[in-house]
Amino acid sequence: MSVVSAYLRLARVGWVLVREGVVSALPTEGMPPLARTAHAFAGLLARRRAAHEDRGDRLSRAIERLGPSYVKMGQFLATRPDVVGAEIAVELSTLQDRMATFPREAAVATVEGSLGRRLDDLYVTFGDPVAAASIAQVHPATVRDANGERKVAVKVIRPGVRQRFTHDLEAMYAAARLQETILPNTRRLKPVEVTRTLEQTTKVEMDLRLEAAALSELGENTGDDPGFRVPKVDWERTGRDVVTMEWIDGIKMSDVEGLRAAGHDLDQLADTLIQSFLRHTLRDGFFHADMHQGNLFVDPQGVIVAVDMGIVGRLGKKERRFLAEILYGFITRDYQRVADVHFEAGYVPSHHDTASFAQAIRAIGEPIHGQPAETISMAKLLTLLFEVTELFDMETRTELVMLQKTMVVVEGVSRTLNPRFNMWKASEGVVGDWIRDNLGPKRLLVDLRDGAHAALRLAEAAPEIAAKAEKFSHDLTVMAERGLRFDADTAEAIGRSEARHSRSGRVALWLIAATLVYIAWKLT
């Protein structure tokens, strides 16, 4: 019955989106006649107040009605403008992950269950929650060690959130599969894979040990970086459902007037923020992928402190070089090189013409040259680039889209601190150094070293590879002589699975139809 429950949950999602006016606010341009009729009918079923609100407000309210899983999905899709479109991504980016707190007693039970010790043995004090989100909430506490007492922040997982997300995920997968079936032209966006990425991302976010590990890794990477750090993790008081970290006394970056009143140099903070992000991205290939103003503080020493590392991004060496080549190509106006990089990386199918692709890239780059540097947005440039690549069947690259979205957010935060923020000047040193080291002569030495290591590993694995190749050859020979056979149990299991799937699908569709008829009858 999981298929039936998934479609019923999906029907509820659709109903909430209709009632809150989200469906009726969608543009009708390009819709077939049947879809236009459904769109008009959805407008009749929407609440009256929805007619006076913009689509962003309607969308936020609908997602909040649907619950924590959909708040998380909305935030995730805000990082995927390639999937939902730039406008909706912007609207989703304003979605606030603020939920009602759960009782302190439940948090205490979770902490004790996760760490296997009584609360009094772990903390000197453990206060009421000061912030709550869809997955966890934060409590102030104090601990005592050899250096005396210190204040800490304790992040505790929300009770029952894993079970609820698992159930809601069934509906999300059902929607993704329907999208691929009904709208085959969207398969390029890989909706099922996007849902799988959401599942993996959220599962990681729900294991607070992994967030602690991300904080620890970024802390090591940035140990010598000027003007940026992350909280230290208290590993003794960290488990799957709880993470304890250094309490940060600072001013949120969203409080621009507070930063100015405290005497901080806002222009310097803007430069430091973008330089830090580019170091993490290009140098380390590991970055905080949720660097909005609410997750950034400035401590009394003027150091930026990033918190809440539930969402992180990684870039391999290939992707980092790809990004640097693109930036360098735009700077030097070598659009053919930018096009060649896309084809060499395999991001654009080889049946397309590189010269035509270079022409499309030129349409992005040329309007930028001649403008004042402070008006040129690197994030916007990458956004336009991804829009153009859609015309050439470039498949979605999750890590690059996450990078682009994070860059949009980081650049936006910098511009709130300094409206005349010059992205290119601020990033020139970091990007220039990395390009010189990785696209110049040093690159050959690094590639030779990496190639030697790879050859050594291949030589070590050669006997095992040869044995596997010999066995595979033998199996192919047997298959060619005797054919591919299923035993009776396998064939019977396949038949049962197909029959069960077909029955469940038919039952689900009839239940949805009956539900919609009942709703329409109640409204008449």
Residues serving a catalytic function are 290
Inter-axis angle of helices 398-417 and 266-278, nearest 10? 170
288 strand-pairing partners: 312
Contacting residues for 463 by C-beta, under 8 A, at least 6 apart? none
Contact 302, 388 (CB under 8 A): no
Which tokens hold the place of 28? 């009708």
DSSP state of 333: T
Contacting residues for 386 by C-beta, under 8 A, at least 6 apart? 81, 82, 394, 400, 401, 404
Contacting residues for 266 by C-beta, under 8 A, at least 6 apart? 256, 259, 260, 417, 418
Q: Kind of pairing, strands 131-132 and 304-306?
A: unpaired
CA distance readout (Å), 125 to 103, 108, 128, 473: 16, 12, 10, 66
Q: Buried b / exposed e across 393-417, counting CB within 10 Å, b at 16+?
A: ebebbbebbbbbbbbbbbbebbbeb
Side chain identity at residue 382, one-letter code: L
Contacting residues for 480 by C-beta, under 8 A, at least 6 apart? none
Task: Indicate the length of the chain as a whole number.
Answer: 524
The Cα 99–Cα 118 span in angstroms is 27
The Cα 315–Cα 398 span in angstroms is 10
The Cα 166–Cα 153 span in angstroms is 28
